[in-house]
Structure 1
Amino acid sequence: MEIKLDIFETMALATIVFYFGAYIRKRIKVLEKYCIPSAVVGGMIFSILMLIFKLNSILTISLDTTLQQVFMTAFFTSIGYTASFRLLKQGGVKVIIFLILSTILVITQNILGVSLASAFKLNPLLGLTTGSIPLVGGHGTSGSFGPLLEGMGVKGATTVAFASATFGLVMGSILGGFAAKTLIERNKLKTVKEYRDKTIPVSDFHQDNEAVLSHKKLMNGAAWIFLAMGIGAIITKFMEGLGLTFPSYIGAMLAAAIIKNICDLRKVKLEDKEIETLGGISLSFFLSLALMGLKLWELFDLALPLIIMLIAQTILMFVFGYYIVFRVMGKDYEAAVFVSALSGFGMGSTANAVANMDALTDKYGFAKTPYLVVPIVGCLFIDFINSFVITIFINIFG
């Protein structure tokens, strides 16, 4: 039996899936521990049910995913508005160094992924779905580049990318603490006794941070997002005319970054919190829709290569953090904290990076510099750079 849902029914189902995921996430603590998003939890459960129904010829559900593209573009547009060179300059030299290291990691992950895919006689582009697309980019980037690669003939790209992103969230949390703790104890690093005041929020955008709701500010935030999306559509058409292949949101992200930096120069205040909030809402619905449409049966033939490629990426992350990041960032306690953070967002998300740092500094003492640098790189710049690096790889190997 097949059920076809229209756009309104699809969004109602996506809403139910998201809040069911939030319900399950609260009751299974390991999901909260590894920062698995509610949309991913709910979407994966839905996809597994659809797999069971398909294998037993019980039911298939066809979704109207018209709004998926809109939500995806809105989310990445909000990311573009964080690419402020003023903030990069304020962060100092260590921000630049950490950003360069993160960029090298992105490139290396993709080289490894493409190489291993070729060794397994698979499409080299499939290797990108175990590289920086899911690991540095997370589920959001996986949901945007996966369909693009499938459109280029890479079967199962979206499913592999989402599976890799989920693996990365878990492994990034485990690896970060292990690598940093080993560095501290083996090198007998001098730690500190100062602890962070838990009453001070890490981010103004934390879900528990209650702010005054303002229609005017939300409207302004939405206006800035749609303005950049419109300009981005023109940029996209121009770049496509040059014969380049890239996801549709790149133009909007670039437009948002340009607008942001022009506003910084002209001292025009944007509604940063509102743009961030609207971007977060868009991401939740985008991920719910994307996960609900996964074809998990496409993983059957790729199981062994996928496992080997993800293990290889884990080894790469450990070696890169332990032997390169630690030395470049100063070979001291703060350098070890940087290693734990990079393991977090290098295989998962910035939320994992902060969680890794919190766990480490709770035991050994507060490290000021990583808490300044990591959010700037992980929240503001690395997603922007990652998208362009991936685009280059797609155009080289596509």
Structure 2
Amino acid sequence: MVFEFDVLSTLLLTILCLLFGSELKKRVNWLQRFCIPSPVIGGFLVSILIWILKILDMASFQFDTSIQGYLMVAFFTTVGLGGSFKILKSGGKLLFIYLCVCWFIAFFQNTFGVGIAMALGIDPVLGVMAGAVSLTGGHGGAAAFGGMAEELGHSSATIAALAAATFGLISGSLLGGPVASYLIKRHNVKIEANDDLHMPMSTKGQPLPAIVDTTGFLKMLALILLIMVAGRALSNYFTEVTGFSLPSYVGAMLVAVVVRNVNDGLKVVEIQEKSIDLISGASLGLFLTMAMMSLKIWELSEIALPLFIILALQVIALLLMTIFVVFRLLGKNYDAAVMCSGLLGHGLGATPNAMANMTSVCDRYKLISTKALMIVPLSGAVLIDIVSIPYHTYLINFFS
């Protein structure tokens, strides 16, 4: 049997999965202790169920996830609206260090993947596909550069890259929270605010209450939608002029940063943080749940053993690097632990996974690391491409 879900029914199932994941997290202690994000819990369980039904040849499912992209753009717009120059300036040295870490990882993952592929006697380009192309690049990078590699004669590059991205997405979502918890416990990290940019949370893990009225909420929603439209136009224009693709969520985040800082000076609109937080939490939760429940896990079984070996070693390498090197470079404090959870999220999967990991850690310890929530997406979604995209292109062409 084939079950087809239209946009409305897909959205309904997504909400139910998210609520189920949230409720299960409350009831299962180890899920809270290891900071596993609620969207990952609910969405991943559904994807496993779908996989089992497919293996048993009992049923298959088709989801209309056309709204998924809009949810992602909405979330990154809210991230940009939090990006006042005061916060970005406060990143200072920490932003530079984290960005250098991202650049190094992009370089390392591709080089490491190629080296292992050559040692195993397989096409080096498949090593690139199991490197930063799919791990830091996610499914978007996998599809784009997989197609490029196939045009240059490397068969199965796209399916290998997409399968690797799926592997990384799952790994990054499951490891980020537990690693942050381990680092905090292992190093006796104090859960304290180092500056006035940190936002204390209530005992229920939510930001301290503020009044939300319908009119104010709709104003913030209208502002976010306006920025999303402008961000899409900016991304399209940039692509036409330069020939390089700028994701619409990046364009929206950049426009949002400009709008926030101009508004801080002119006071045109009152920014209602609580309303933005609600939109941010809902859009991220729904996006990631939808992404997880629509994962085609069976693609992992199609990976040849050598490719699986490369991916397993990539995960181990980044895990060790994060625990023993990056955490120390970032200062061995609460911000550093939260950022490490984010690094595993986007270093193995995608930036939304990084944000979900960090949000889950902040919920667990009742303190929002505003630095982490700004520095990680800015570096992992935008600035990392300065090094990664040219290096992807160079390696694919070099081995073709």
Matches of 1:82 and 1:150, distance apart in 2:
34
Alpha-carbon distance, 1:123 to partner: 4.8
| Deviations, residues 360-384 of structure 1 (Å, cap 9, x unaligned) | xxxxxxxxxxx8xx82321223212
Select which of 199, 202, 214 maps to 2:200: 202
Select which of 156, 159, 162 maps to 2:163: 156
Matched-pair contact (CA < 8 Å) for 2:127–2:310: no
Compared CA separation, residues 16 and 176, structure 1 to 2 (3 A): same
Matches of 1:69 and 1:311, distance apart in 2:
30
Counterpart AA for 2:318: Q
Compared CA separation, residues 321 and 240, structure 1 to 2 (3 A): closer
Alpha-carbon distance, 1:208 to partner: 6.5
Counterpart AA for 1:315: L
The residue that corresponds to 1:166 in the other structure is 173
Matches of 2:134 and 2:146, distance apart in 1:
15
| Deviations, residues 238-258 of structure 1 (Å, cap 9, x unaligned) | 111121024331111111111
Counterpart AA for 2:285: S
Matches of 1:243 and 1:386, distance apart in 2:
21
Matched-pair contact (CA < 8 Å) for 1:39–1:285: yes
The residue that corresponds to 2:294 in the other structure is 293
Q: What does 1:125-204 align with in structure 2 at a 5 Å threshold?
A: 125-128=129-132, 132=136, 153=158, 154-177=161-184, 180-181=187-188, 202-203=200-201
Compared CA separation, residues 248 and 145, structure 1 to 2 (3 A): farther
Q: Does 1:347 align with 2:354?
A: no
Q: What does 1:1-398 align with in structure 2 at a 5 Å threshold?
A: 1-89=1-89, 91=90, 95-119=91-115, 120=117, 121=124, 122-128=126-132, 132=136, 153=158, 154-177=161-184, 180-181=187-188, 202-203=200-201, 206-207=205-206, 209-241=208-240, 242-268=242-268, 269-300=270-301, 301=303, 302-321=307-326, 324-326=329-331, 335=332, 339-348=336-345, 349-351=357-359, 354=362, 375-392=369-386, 393-398=388-393
Matched-pair contact (CA < 8 Å) for 1:343–1:353: no
Matched-pair contact (CA < 8 Å) for 2:36–2:360: no
Matched-pair contact (CA < 8 Å) for 1:3–1:60: yes
Counterpart AA for 1:173: A
Matched-pair contact (CA < 8 Å) for 2:236–2:246: no
Matched-pair contact (CA < 8 Å) for 1:68–1:289: yes
Compared CA separation, residues 151 and 262, structure 1 to 2 (3 A): farther
Counterpart AA for 1:387: A
Q: Secondary structure at the match of 2:187?
A: helix
Matched-pair contact (CA < 8 Å) for 1:129–1:160: no
Matches of 2:83 and 2:392, distance apart in 1:
28
Matched-pair contact (CA < 8 Å) for 1:80–1:384: no
Compared CA separation, residues 210 and 126, structure 1 to 2 (3 A): same
Compared CA separation, residues 145 and 34, structure 1 to 2 (3 A): farther
Matched-pair contact (CA < 8 Å) for 1:76–1:249: yes
Alpha-carbon distance, 1:218 to partner: 0.6
How many equivalent residue pairs? 352
Alpha-carbon distance, 1:338 to partner: 5.4
Stretches of structure 1 lacking an aligned partner (at least 5 in a row): 134-141, 185-190, 327-334, 360-370
Alpha-carbon distance, 1:318 to partner: 2.6
Matches of 1:338 and 1:230, distance apart in 2:
33
Q: Secondary structure at the match of 2:277?
A: helix
Compared CA separation, residues 195 and 211, structure 1 to 2 (3 A): closer
Alpha-carbon distance, 1:289 to partner: 1.2
Counterpart AA for 1:277: L
Compared CA separation, residues 79 and 395, structure 1 to 2 (3 A): farther
Q: Secondary structure at the match of 1:57?
A: coil
Counterpart AA for 2:392: F
Matched-pair contact (CA < 8 Å) for 2:335–2:369: no
Matches of 1:22 and 1:276, distance apart in 2:
17
TM-score between both structures, scaled by the size of structure 2 = 0.77
| Deviations, residues 140-164 of structure 1 (Å, cap 9, x unaligned) | xx57766666776333254123213
Matches of 1:151 and 1:28, distance apart in 2:
42
Counterpart AA for 1:102: Y
| Deviations, residues 347-397 of structure 1 (Å, cap 9, x unaligned) | 3533466479x59xxxxxxxxxxx8xx823212232122211343313541
Matched-pair contact (CA < 8 Å) for 1:25–1:38: yes
Matches of 1:350 and 1:264, distance apart in 2:
26
Alpha-carbon distance, 1:336 to partner: 5.0
Compared CA separation, residues 68 and 96, structure 1 to 2 (3 A): same
Compared CA separation, residues 13 and 226, structure 1 to 2 (3 A): same
Q: Secondary structure at the match of 2:17?
A: helix
TM-score between both structures, scaled by the size of structure 1 = 0.78
| Deviations, residues 24-78 of structure 1 (Å, cap 9, x unaligned) | 2122211111222211101100111111111111110101111111111111111
Matches of 1:322 and 1:387, distance apart in 2:
20
